[in-house]
Amino acid sequence: MAKQDYYATLGVAKNASADDLKKAYRKLAMQYHPDRNPGDKKAEAKFKDVSEAYDILKDDQKRGAYDRFGHAAFEQGGGGAGAGMGGFDFSATGDLGDIFDQMFGMGRRGGGSQRPRTGNDLRQSVEIDLAEAFTGTKVNLRVPTRVKCESCEGSGSQDKGQAASTCPTCQGAGKVRAQQGFFLIERTCPTCNGQGRVIRNPCRVCQGAGTVQRERSLSVAIPAGVEDGTRIRLSGEGEAGGPGAQNGDLYVHVSVRPHEFFQREQANILMRVPLRMTQAALGDEVEVPVVDGSSAKVKIPAGTQTGDQFRLRGKGFSVLRSAARGDMFIQVAVETPQNLSPKQRELLEAFEAEAGKGTKGSPDHEGFFAKVAAFFEGGRG
């Protein structure tokens, strides 16, 4: 099968400039690259044809020979396209590298441009009680981490103060490229392990890392008003970075233990208070605890029902980074008496007999059953 004209393969005119050729090649190579068309044999063949055509036409001498003799100029050992796998000359690595740069973000970096590796961030969890969350507190942490090596003062070199030199293998890029078939593979540099720099005489204590494993003691201030699940960031308190690099950060995750009385809802506090039936019916005054350690008296009016709430302004939780406080809400639950004594039963039976005479002491009860009666009467009709 006759080969397609190289200019037609790239979709350009025969008088196309070098820039036009390059633009056409890049567009088609991006479109038909095997990584973008896995398993597509037609795309793979098209990619090879495009690469072969550009390899010939980008070279002035090869292009001149092709314009005069066509494909015959490169047959019978004439040099050029037949040298590579399937007619693809892999000497076009520079342009293929550019394509990889665009597809995968592999920017070309100059010598020494690799930045020192920043230290890792760390996470620690602390648990405090509600009173500590209300007032704020300090907690002491023991954090296993990497700290600056004292022997080499963090330089990584046995010769203190000696700076690391640019890696001769990757020229400071931290990565090296190797060609496998028509793929260009980028790997971490084996000489510098991706650092872009090498130390000629590594420190015997830290082996050139500039850091060593230690356990640090830290005192962390927990602010008043902190909520369960809050994350506190301590800048620079994470792992030490490599030579000349910044430390990571420490993130302290705070959890607040549940309280036996108080339920927090942002800056407000909810407390459920059980009342005896007689307290709710006759009215009373009860004393309740407050989160700040004090107490407050709550007046219960006669006829209080389960679910009624009473608000104590300014008795709630502290607001983060503010002197203000939320409110406290007392929610009432009327308790039905159990294990009655004979006297109590006698009194309650007398109360029930009196209530049945239409004293209107239980309006919800009486209204509900009046509607029930009307419902059944309507059903019979």
What are the chain's domains? 6-104 (1.10.287.110), 263-335 (2.60.260.20), 342-380 (no CATH)
In the chain, % of residues over pLDDT 90: 26
Q: pTM to 2 decimals?
A: 0.55
Comparing CA positions, the residue from 49, 42, 63 lying closest to residue 2 is 49
212 backbone dihedrals φ, ψ, rounded to 5°: -135, 160
Residue matched to tokens 């633009």: 23
Q: Which regions of 290-355 does DSSP assign to beta strands (E)?
A: 295-300, 309-312, 328-335
Q: pLDDT for 253-272, tens place per residue?
A: 999 999 999 999 989 999 99
Q: What is the CA radius of gyration of the chain?
A: 41
In the chain, % of residues over pLDDT 70: 82
What's the confidence (pLDDT) of residue 209?
77
Q: pLDDT for 141-175, tens place per residue?
A: 998 888 888 778 777 777 766 667 788 888 888 88
What's the confidence (pLDDT) of residue 246?
84
Structure tokens at 308: 């009624």
- The helix (H) or strand (E) run that includes residue 115 is none
What's the confidence (pLDDT) of residue 164?
73
- In this predicted model, which residue has the larger pLDDT, 325 or 92? 325
Q: Round to whole Å and give the CA distance between 82 and 75.
A: 8
What's the confidence (pLDDT) of residue 106?
43
**Average model confidence (pLDDT) for the chain?**
80
What's the confidence (pLDDT) of residue 360?
67
Question: Which DSSP letter does residue 318 get?
Answer: B
Q: Are 322 and 225 in contact (CB under 8 A)?
A: yes
Quick check: 346 pLDDT over 80?
yes
Q: pLDDT for 279-319, tens place per residue?
A: 988 999 999 999 989 999 999 999 899 999 999 999 999 99
Torsion of CA 98, 101, 104, 107, to 10 degrees: 170
Structure tokens at 310: 């009473």
Quick check: 249 pLDDT over 50?
yes
First vs last C-alpha separation in the chain: 96
Mean pLDDT, rounded, for 172-197: 75
Structure tokens at 277: 């039936």
What's the confidence (pLDDT) of residue 182?
53
Q: pLDDT for 93-151, tens place per residue?
A: 444 445 544 444 444 444 444 455 788 888 999 999 999 999 999 999 998 888 888 77
Q: Are 300 and 332 in contact (CB under 8 A)?
A: yes
Question: 125 by DSSP, 3-state: which?
Answer: strand
At residue 367 the predicted structure's pLDDT band, cuts being 50, 70 and 90, is: confident
What's the confidence (pLDDT) of residue 78?
42
Q: pLDDT for 18-62, tens place per residue?
A: 888 989 998 898 888 887 888 888 888 898 888 888 888 988 888
Beta bridge partners of 251: 123, 233
What's the confidence (pLDDT) of residue 94?
44
